[in-house]
Structures are given as structure tokens and as C-alpha cells.
Structure 1
């Protein structure tokens, strides 16, 4: 058993793959052995989390998830009796709705019989005072809105201020998608510590959408079973041992061209349509600069009526940025060699330059208004799809609403299955898709998607997405990179973006030896924390 940390990559499995592994393992083990191992692991982790608990409530459902809880309760009860402890293990057991036609699984029946024979305490209602609760009501087999007494207990667990340990997955969570079955998650913000012990395999839904909040700290026990060769991972969790490491061991003969060029096109001027978003493009450019790009050019979408004397010529905070008339950049050979970041704050004006950029930029990151313009124009969609046939790289960075526009569906549809949505975008537009949100999903055509384990709600502020786009541009800009190197840097960049927010949350936004009286995470401060990926 081990905790899941963002320092190592992990294979994630679907419910179907987990079932396949489980069936094969059970066929090669004595009866009830797999559940015996699972229940023992749950009991051990429960005591490790609350070693001085006076009362542990074990909420058990009718299936094998409840059976795991019953085995855990039996161990906790027997250990307390053997060592003369005062721990009370109290079980509430829900046999399922009266109309349920499926019989209780044999393993769960055996676990219930042994728990009763051991003298485990059963109660009709949860104890009023408990130090830790074990959620073993619903497992990975839940495919519909839960009902009955189990839901009442689930609501109690959801709002409990005590530590809660979930068996395999938090009850009510879709193990494949990370969505809840009509159960609100707002109460988790004020609830106590949450832990989830994922058994046999790591489930994809624990790391994206609502799964991250519901699961809390994820632990893993493979129950001494190795995945079978025919059960392939559904996705992979990004891991990085040292995200704070700086790029080093570079040849002394390197020059700024060795680290590539980034062009940022966006930042609609206020005079264009009365909506000014110059800051978005500047944020992306600053992030690209701090992420290690050798040169960063900025082409702002300024109004034609604006006098040249009033044009933005330089950025006082980052004077290294090189501002150019956007038309000069569009006609420059750089468009074929640099990484182009397009759309940040582009407004409606971005649509005018997109055909040219889609047709000439070999490496392209499309964000924000560029994605919205493409969603509304079938001609732009065709140009986007044609890029892959030329061997050009395109990265789409939508948030859920932008993804819904591109897929002509609702945001709820996207959020109901984030992996499927990211893969659909990747396949439809022959591009890499970075679907932002809790557990950002990276979908690369022909490969299992990647899920990012870092990041928090501090990133839910204007401009942080522009920072990510600039970082991605820098990661993809280095000349001579192989496809594998680009994909690795892309994943590490998404990881670093979230990791910086996690570090901010833990350390108040300050670096060592640095004083910051206003540590609130803002996009400009975030851009200043960015550093090159190796």
C-alpha cells in the first residue's frame, strides 16, 4: 500500500479493465481471498489514519464494496478485543432497495456472516460520535442515481467533519469519468479530511472532474495482483520527480536561437470593438519568456484607426519582449519556424488573421478566442484539420465551455466525460487537446490520454490560461525536438502550471528569501514564477 504522489507516473484503468483483472485474479485464488486482502488493507489504513480512534463507523452497502467494509470491520473489532483497546467498530449495513433483483455477491455474503459471527456491532443508524468513517456503500459498479437508506448515509459522510476513508472510490462517483450521480459536492469544502484507498487498480475518475475533491488523498493497494497483459490502461497520470528543477547542462555554445522563438498573436485593442484585451497577449508572452524561449515576439491586434504613435511598443515589466506589427509577423518566415500562440485576448479580431496562421504556422497553440472563432466557422475548421496532413503540430487549449462550442454540445456534456470530450476534440481536429479544469486532460491522437495531478482553485482567475498557453509555446519552440520530446515537455508544462499553484497555496506565493505582502495568486505573478522545463 502506498500514497499516490505527483512525483511518479501512474497507469489508470477503466471499470471494464478492472473487472477483467479482478475476474482473472479471483479465478486463480482461493474463494474470498481477494476480498480478504482488500478488507485487511482498509482496516490497516483506517488505523494508520486515526490510530487513537475511539469509534469507527463503517457504512456498508449491498455489494462487494460493502463486503470489503465488513471484512475491515471484522479486523478492527478483533484487533480491539485482542489488544484490550477501547475502539468500537460500528457497522451500518444496507442490503439494498427492496426491489433489487440481483442477489448479494457470494463474497459479500461470506463477509457478512463472518462479521456477525465475530461479534461486530451492527446498528440501524450511524453512531452520533465517531472519529473516522469508512465509506463502503457503493463501489465501481454504480451506474445510476443511488437511492434508499444508503443515500442518507452518503449525505452524512459527505458533510462529516471527521476523517472519511472511501473504499475503492467515493460512493456515488463514476469511476471512469469522475462525475457524481446527482449528488452535490459543495459540502466537501468544509468537510474533514478525505482519503480513498483504490484497490487492485487506480481508477481514472479519481483524478479528474469531481473525483479529485471527493477522493482527497488517494492511496493504492494492488492486492498482490499484477495487471493482466490484455487489460490496457485507459489513461496515464503525469508524474514529475522534481518540477522545481531548472534546465541545466546546456552546451556553452548555445545561443538564443537554440531555445527557439515564440510568436504571440492576440490582445485585441480597446479601440477595435470597445473591448480591450492587450493584457492577455502580454501575459502569454511573459510566460513564454520565463519558460525559456530564446526570443518572444508579440503581434497585437490593434485598430487600423489607431495612430502608430499610440501603439504598444514595449512592456516595462518585460522589456525583452519584441513587439511587431501583426502584419509584419504574418508575412515573416518566422511563422514557419517559431511556435505560434494564437488567440489570447484576440476577441473578434482574431478571425481575420486565423486563415493565414492556420495555413502557414508549423507549430501552433490555439487558445481562447481563436477556438471560439474556429467553432463558428466551418472553413477555419477545415484549415485546422488539414494541418496534420502537412505534418504540422497543433495544440488546442480549451476550457469546458470552449470545448463544448467546438463539439457542438453542452458544457454539461463535456463535464460528464472529460476524457471522452478531449479525445473527441483530438480526433476531430487531428490535434493535441489540453482540456483545462480539475485534472486537466491531455489527449494526443492515437495514444491513451494523460491526466494532470497538479493544480487547484487558485488558478480560477483571469489570465492564468493565457500563462499556460505561453508556457506551452515555449515548450514546443525548441528546434530539433523529436515528437517524443515535445510531448514530454508539453506534459511537464501542464504539470508545472498546476504545481506552481499548489506551491503557492502551501507557501503563500513567496519564494525562499522573498517577501510578498500580497500573496494572492494572479496571472502576472504566476508568469513570473515560470521556469524552463528540462
Structure 2
């Protein structure tokens, strides 16, 4: 059993892939083996997270997820605990494995209660598993979920918190809000993006002794990867500023100069050799006395062919003027904010963007959900409903790397298995942090990483800085730009 943290890269499998892995294991193992292993794992984790708990309410659904809970109840009963099972199933209607577990729990002397107890030391949510839920829980199940969420004791979800979609991370109402989730067989993408991180709590994995790599079934490859800490090499002693590339930030329309300066500062502190700033406000600045390393140039004097261009931060409508030249001449581009909005509303700009992919020019788009929705011609709600799919659609449509920002940022690119980022928190929900990320991606591109690697590394480090932010100190974008971990 593993506690999942942000340091190690982990494979994520969607419902279909998990089912195939499960089916292959069922063929290779004696009947009922997986459910017995799952129940034991749940019981063991219950003891680990709440060692002093005596009264344990186990809410069991009618299917095999409920069977896992029944198995756990049997072990907890034998270990001297007081499990109380509320079961929505029936012996005549339950799947064979769950029915067998019900018989075993009865034989072990487990207490069953139609009405949930008034109090408990630990709750185990074994209501629903990885099925594709199309409707919100109703009736008794909904009532039980509300009881679970109203309690003050730890909640351990079996495989997924009930109401959370395994593939997308979309949580219906009501959904269980767990303090811990034990994912069985595989890790599911939905635990780490959209609503997943809010409802899953601390995530654990028990593969039940089944290793996907050992199966010969098609369709068991990872759906996505949970990003791990990037490997960074030390800078060579015999290097110089030219070794790490030039970044040009193009943005900062009137009233929005700060966005461009934040991106430029982030690029500088993320390791770019030189950083140029081309403001679109008529040249209000020629020097930043707080960061004299930044070099200000009129946009028309910047040589986009030799630079990594970060385009759009605070650009407003003014970004439409330089954007065609940026798209058509620069070999390395990060497109953010108002540049994304301009492309979404202009078919000619979309054609130029697609042409970049055809000539293998590196491009990274960094939209938040609303910007992604504009590019896809849909709504932000639909993007959030399936973030993995939306990021992949954008990557395919525009033939580039896409960073779909948000809880569990998704990085996608043609021909790549998408990556979900595990770092970051709600401290990043403040103005300017997206500009900082765009600058970091630009620095890593200029330093020699390919577009996908630059995006993955930047997003990870951006979130890691927020995770390490001092408690009680407000995170503001200017400080983030200066303190985010750098690349080589």
C-alpha cells in the first residue's frame, strides 16, 4: 500500500483500462480473491488512519464496492472493533462476489443496521465504485452521504468518494467528502483533477497484488500520468547567458503593464539567460529599477526568430497587432491570456497557429477553463466536466502543447500521454499567478527543453512553490515570480 504524494510519477488508469486489468486478474486468480484482498486492505488502512476508533460505520452500496466494505467489516470485527454496516444491497440481488462477502460478514458476527448509527469514530464509504455515474445519488444513499459529510470523524472512501467520476474528477451533488481515499488496483485520473482533490483527501493505492504491466490485455496502458518531481541537471561551469536563451515578453497594454512585468520577472528567476520586455502601452517604461536585468525594447525591434516569445500577458486588444508576426516567425512561443482570446475569435490567427505545428515550431498554450472554452467553442462548465478530454481536444485541434490550468492542471500534446500535475493549492487563486507560469514556461523553453517537458516542469515547480509557501504569509504573484524553483 502506498501513500500518494507529489514526488513520484504514477500511472493513472480510467474506468475501461481498470476494468480490463480487473478482468485479466479475475481470470488468473481464484474466485473472490480480489474482493478479499480489497477488504483486507481497507480494514488495514482504517486501523492506520484511526487506530483508536472503536465504533466504525461502514456504508455499503449494492454492488462490488459495497462488497469490499463488507469484507472490511469482517476483518475489523475479528480485530476487536465494532463495525456497524448499513447495506443498500440484498442477498438475492447482489453480484456474486458481494453476496459471498455478505455471507462471510454474517458468519463473522458483524452488526447490520438499516438505520445508520447516531455517532461513529470512523466512517467507511463503500457506496459506489468506478461505475460511470450519470445521475446524482438519491433516496437513502443521498441521505447517508449527507450524514457522512455532517460528521466530524475521519472518512475513508473505498476506491473513490461516492459521487466522484473516476475519469473526469467531476463530482455530483451530493458527493462524499473523504479525508482519505484508498484507490484499488489502479489510480484513477479523477482523484487528481477538477473536484477530485477537494473530495478525495489523502490518496492511497493498493494494487491488490495485480500489476498492469504483467497483463497481456490490450487497452491497459495508462490513460494519463501523475507528474513527479522533474529531474534537473546542474548548470555546466563553462556556460554563459547565451547558453540559456533569450525570452521576449510581449504584452502589457495600457493599465495592464504589471502582467507583462510579472511574466518577465518569472522568466528571469526561472533561469532565462536574458529577458526582453516589449510593452504595448506606448513605452511607459524603459527600465525597472527593482529589476534592472530586464531589458525594454519597442515591440517592432524585437527579433522574434531568435527568441522564445511569451505573448499575451496583459495584452488586451493591442495584442492583435503583433500576434500574427509572433505566430509566423518565432520558433518558440508561449501563448497566454489575451493572445488566447484573440486567437479564439479570429480564424486567420487560428490558421497561423495550426501552421506552427505543421512546421514543427514549438508552441505552448496556457489557458484557464474559460479561455479553453472560447478556443473550443463551448462553455467553461463543459471544459471542467472533463478536463482531460478538453486539454487533449485543444492539443489535437491546434497541434501544440496545452496547459489547462486549474486544480490538477492537465498538460497534453499530440502523441503524448497527458500529465496531471499534483502540486499547487488555492493560494494560487490570485491575480498574476498565471502570468508567472507563462514566464516560467518561456524560460524552460529558452533553456532547451521541448514544449511538453517545459510545460510539465514549469507547472510542477509553480505549484510546488505554493505548496511550500510559509503558513500565514499571503501569496502574491510578484513574490511567487521571485521564489518559484528555477530550472537548470
Q: Normalized against structure 2, the TM-score is what?
A: 0.96
1:164 aligns with 2:155: yes
Query: 2:409 & 2:446 partners in 1: Cα distance?
Result: 22
How far did residue 489 of structure 1 move?
Answer: 3.5
Residue 203 of structure 2 corresponds to 218
Identify which of 301, 312, 315 aligns with 2:285: 312
1:144 aligns with 2:134: yes
Describe the SS at the equivalent of 1:317.
Answer: coil
Specify whether residues 3 and 241 from structure 1 end up closer, same or farther in structure 2 by C-alpha distance, changes over 3 A only.
Answer: farther
Query: 1:283 & 1:53 partners in 2: Cα distance?
Result: 50
Identify which of 106, 117, 129 aligns with 1:127: 117
Identify which of 461, 465, 468 aligns with 1:496: 461
How far did residue 103 of structure 1 move?
Answer: 4.0
Specify whether residues 405 and 499 from structure 1 end up closer, same or farther in structure 2 by C-alpha distance, changes over 3 A only.
Answer: same
Query: 1:341 & 1:386 partners in 2: Cα distance?
Result: 18
May I ask how many residue pairs the two structures share in their alignment? 482
Identify which of 298, 306, 318 aligns with 1:325: 298
Residue 233 of structure 1 corresponds to 222
Query: 2:256 & 2:277 partners in 1: Cα distance?
Result: 13
| 1:275-326 Cα distance to aligned partner (Å, 9 max, x none) | x1000000000000000001000000024xxxx6xx2111122110001111
Specify whether residues 395 and 241 from structure 1 end up closer, same or farther in structure 2 by C-alpha distance, changes over 3 A only.
Answer: closer
Describe the SS at the equivalent of 2:182.
Answer: strand
Describe the SS at the equivalent of 1:109.
Answer: helix
Cα RMSD over matched residues?
Answer: 1.6
Question: Residue 145 of structure 2 contacts residue 174 of structure 2 at CA under 8 Å; is this kept in 1?
Answer: no
1:118 aligns with 2:108: yes
| 1:135-174 Cα distance to aligned partner (Å, 9 max, x none) | 0001101422122211111122233321100000111111
1:88 aligns with 2:82: yes
Residue 512 of structure 1 corresponds to none
Residue 426 of structure 2 corresponds to 457
Identify which of 378, 382, 405 aligns with 1:409: 378
Alignment of 1:120-519 (within 5 A): 120-145=110-135, 146-183=137-174, 194-227=179-212, 228-229=215-216, 230=218, 231-240=220-229, 248=234, 250-269=235-254, 276-303=255-282, 311-329=284-302, 332=303, 335-478=304-447, 481=448, 483=450, 486-504=451-469, 507-508=470-471, 519=473
Query: 2:407 & 2:463 partners in 1: Cα distance?
Result: 10
Query: 2:130 & 2:175 partners in 1: Cα distance?
Result: 19
Question: Residue 411 of structure 2 contacts residue 452 of structure 2 at CA under 8 Å; is this kept in 1?
Answer: no
Query: 1:417 & 1:436 partners in 2: Cα distance?
Result: 13
How far did residue 338 of structure 1 move?
Answer: 1.4
1:22 aligns with 2:22: yes
1:533 aligns with 2:487: yes
How far did residue 183 of structure 1 move?
Answer: 2.9
Residue 521 of structure 1 corresponds to 475
Query: 1:289 & 1:466 partners in 2: Cα distance?
Result: 13
Describe the SS at the equivalent of 2:468.
Answer: helix
Where structure 2 has 5 or more consecutive residues not aligned to the other structure, the ranges are: none
Question: Residue 278 of structure 2 contacts residue 296 of structure 2 at CA under 8 Å; is this kept in 1?
Answer: yes
Specify whether residues 393 and 241 from structure 1 end up closer, same or farther in structure 2 by C-alpha distance, changes over 3 A only.
Answer: closer
Describe the SS at the equivalent of 1:95.
Answer: coil
Alignment of 1:14-53 (within 5 A): 14-53=14-53
Query: 2:230 & 2:148 partners in 1: Cα distance?
Result: 34
Question: Residue 291 of structure 1 contacts residue 530 of structure 1 at CA under 8 Å; is this kept in 2?
Answer: yes
Question: Residue 69 of structure 2 contacts residue 158 of structure 2 at CA under 8 Å; is this kept in 1?
Answer: yes
Query: 1:448 & 1:337 partners in 2: Cα distance?
Result: 30
Describe the SS at the equivalent of 1:171.
Answer: coil
Question: Residue 67 of structure 2 contacts residue 98 of structure 2 at CA under 8 Å; is this kept in 1?
Answer: yes
| 1:309-350 Cα distance to aligned partner (Å, 9 max, x none) | xx2111122110001111111xx2xx1121100000001111
Query: 1:285 & 1:156 partners in 2: Cα distance?
Result: 50
How far did residue 492 of structure 1 move?
Answer: 1.6
Question: Residue 162 of structure 2 contacts residue 175 of structure 2 at CA under 8 Å; is this kept in 1?
Answer: no
Describe the SS at the equivalent of 1:447.
Answer: coil
Question: Residue 142 of structure 1 contacts residue 172 of structure 1 at CA under 8 Å; is this kept in 2?
Answer: no
Query: 1:380 & 1:106 partners in 2: Cα distance?
Result: 58
Query: 2:281 & 2:434 partners in 1: Cα distance?
Result: 22
Q: Normalized against structure 1, the TM-score is what?
A: 0.88
Where structure 1 has 5 or more consecutive residues not aligned to the other structure, the ranges are: 81-86, 97-101, 270-275, 510-518
